[in-house]
């Protein structure tokens, strides 16, 4: 998903698109990987004199609720990234820097055959570890 798609989705849902909301979306569109609310606040402080954690968390929750942002938990803290909408895949996530690498295989292909009488509504598959750069550090 990109910023334009996200803004259109918000408008369809009846939400206003403020400068701060656009800036948050642009941040996640540009960043490679999962980022925390603290990362976002640090980025926004350069443009806005005062921005509260409440504002950040409200918008992060809104974006997550409407499928604009994906979430995961790393080291006990919630992390966010722009939702991937171009094709079905999963991620390797670096526990140090939050960068991701797409994994095109899906374990659900095998799992579905053993759950024939079940109504699967969704799934999420993530692998955690260290990327090559963080392994060198």
* 21 vs 53: CA distance, rounded Å: 14
Region 3-82: CATH code: 1.10.10.10
Residue ranges, CATH 1.10.10.10, the chain: 3-82
Tell me the mean pLDDT in the region 118-133.
89
Cα-based angle 87, 10, 21 (whole degrees, multiple of 5) = 100
Per-residue pLDDT at 126: 86
Sign of CA dihedral 97, 132, 33, 78: negative
Cα-based angle 7, 66, 54 (whole degrees, multiple of 5) = 85
Sign of CA dihedral 70, 71, 75, 77: positive
Residue ranges, CATH 3.30.1490.190, the chain: 90-136
Phi/psi of residue 129, each to 5°?
175, -150
Q: Does domain 90-136 have CATH number 3.30.1490.190?
A: yes
Tell me the mean pLDDT in the region 125-132.
90
Higher pLDDT pick, 12 / 88: 12
Enumerate residues 6+ apart whose C-beta is below 8 A from 2: 29, 82
Tell me the mean pLDDT in the region 60-84.
91
Q: pTM for the complete prediction?
A: 0.78
């Amino acid at each position: 998903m990109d910023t334009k798609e996200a803004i259109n989705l918000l408008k369809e849902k009846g939400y206003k698109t403020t400068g701060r909301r656009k800036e948050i979306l642009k941040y996640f569109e540009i960043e490679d990987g999962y980022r925390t609310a603290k990362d976002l606040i640090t980025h926004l402080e350069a443009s806005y004199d005062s921005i509260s954690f409440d504002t950040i968390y409200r918008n992060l929750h809104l974006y997550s609720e409407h499928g604009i942002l994906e979430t995961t938990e790393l080291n006990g803290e919630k992390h966010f990234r722009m939702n991937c909408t171009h094709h079905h895949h999963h991620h390797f996530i670096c526990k140090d820097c939050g960068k991701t690498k797409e994994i095109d295989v899906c374990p659900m292909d095998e799992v579905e055959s053993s759950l024939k009488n079940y109504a699967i509504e969704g799934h999420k598959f993530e692998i955690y570890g260290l990327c090559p750069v963080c392994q060198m550090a």
